[in-house]
Structure 1
Amino acid sequence: MPSKPPPAFSDLLAGCTRSAVHLEMRDSYAVDYETGPFAEWRAGHRLDPDDRSSWWRPWLSLVEDTTARGVVIRRARIVSEPVSEYTRFLHSFTFTNVAAGEDVRWLPRRQASTIALPGNDFWLFDDHTVYWNHFTGDGASAGGEVSNDPTAAKLCSEAFETVWARATTHDQYTIH
């Protein structure tokens, strides 16, 4: 019997009542060097802090709606230093995530060596539902997977909290 596809991410976030945490551990994700936001950034385009309508929608609207319901959203990024060009790109617009209500921190990979980390990026909703993000070798999405396994949720929670405690807030993190 084939496994059913995971619920839509927006549905998982909509069902969240207390917290949603996200751990990112890759130095690049599905980079399109020819078109799109990364290519535009490479050509010199930067988001205007005063033009909220030009920011990454519908994601930021979903964050604003979720945090307005009282859900705390935290994102931690483990990054190699010196950082990749893609990480520079991410850092350049993370102010939009923060403005929408996410709390974001950065941890240099060398400071994560003693942390037991899951093998994949993940979201953890209300400390019990894990949404694994699977990627191909070149960073393209290979789909998601949902788990309600308490052992997986505990691993993700402990890993995230340890990363969070060691990481630097977005406004204090300097790109190296």
Structure 2
Amino acid sequence: MELISSAERNRLFERFHHDAFHLELRDDYSVPDENGPFQRWMAGEETDHSHLASWLRLVRRSTVRGMTVRRVRVVTEPLTPYIQWEHAVTTANQGAGENIRWLPRQLMPADTALPCDGHDWWLFDDRLLAVGHFDPEGRTLGSQIIEDTAIVAQCARLRDQLWTLAVPHTEYAP
């Protein structure tokens, strides 16, 4: 399986035309550039959004062109410290135009089939998937590109189902 880097995946944002949707299924992401802001937040310091700067610019460039960028975060309650921190910094994402909803794992229908072996994924314009792969410690290895129409359609159906079940960020109180 060939994987593209996070930078290569982010370049997909320059090529989509309508909607970019991310499904997050993990309760922790070990992203090295987040370690400092996360540790400072854990120590009770003010929330720092500096680690999000390039992401927020990318989202803003997309949303000012009229595109939608959205995600559903499927989370285990009670929330892990990492997800609590993600919740605290989500206002910055929203300020850039990203629409984020939260879905407590126990509210997912029991018969929910997770495509792509239960990995996180980005779905671009209902035609292309970038499926995230992680090492055993949770660090990002890269994304697998999938354009198989049956898999893409399955992900689009799941996106629509979970989007309607998920709680908008402004209404979700962990």
Match of 2:82 among 86, 89, 95: 86
Matches of 1:4 and 1:142 in 2, distance apart?
Answer: 8
What letter corresponds to residue 157 of structure 1 in structure 2?
A
Q: 1:124·1:130 contact (CA, 8 Å) conserved in 2?
A: yes
How large is the Cα RMSD of the aligned pairs?
2.2
Q: Tell me by how many angstroms 1:10 deviates.
A: 2.4
Structure 2 gap ranges (5+): none
* Structure 2 CA distance for partners of 1:143 and 1:166, relative to 1, 3 Å: same
TM-score, scaled relative to structure 1: 0.88
Q: Tell me by how many angstroms 1:114 deviates.
A: 3.0
Equivalent in the alignment of 2:127: 128
What letter corresponds to residue 116 of structure 1 in structure 2?
A
Worse overlay, 36-45 or 75-84: 36-45
Aligned: 1:115 with 2:112: yes
TM-score, scaled relative to structure 2: 0.89
Choose between structure 1 and 2: higher helix proportion.
Answer: 2
Equivalent in the alignment of 2:59: 63
Q: 1:115·1:163 contact (CA, 8 Å) conserved in 2?
A: no
Match of 1:100 among 96, 99, 121: 96
Matches of 2:89 and 2:101 in 1, distance apart?
Answer: 14
Equivalent in the alignment of 2:11: 11
Q: Tell me by how many angstroms 1:159 deviates.
A: 1.1
Q: Tell me by how many angstroms 1:47 deviates.
A: 2.8
Q: How many residue pairs were aligned?
A: 169
Equivalent in the alignment of 2:150: 151
* Structure 2 CA distance for partners of 1:44 and 1:153, relative to 1, 3 Å: same
Q: Tell me by how many angstroms 1:97 deviates.
A: 0.6
Q: Tell me by how many angstroms 1:115 deviates.
A: 2.0
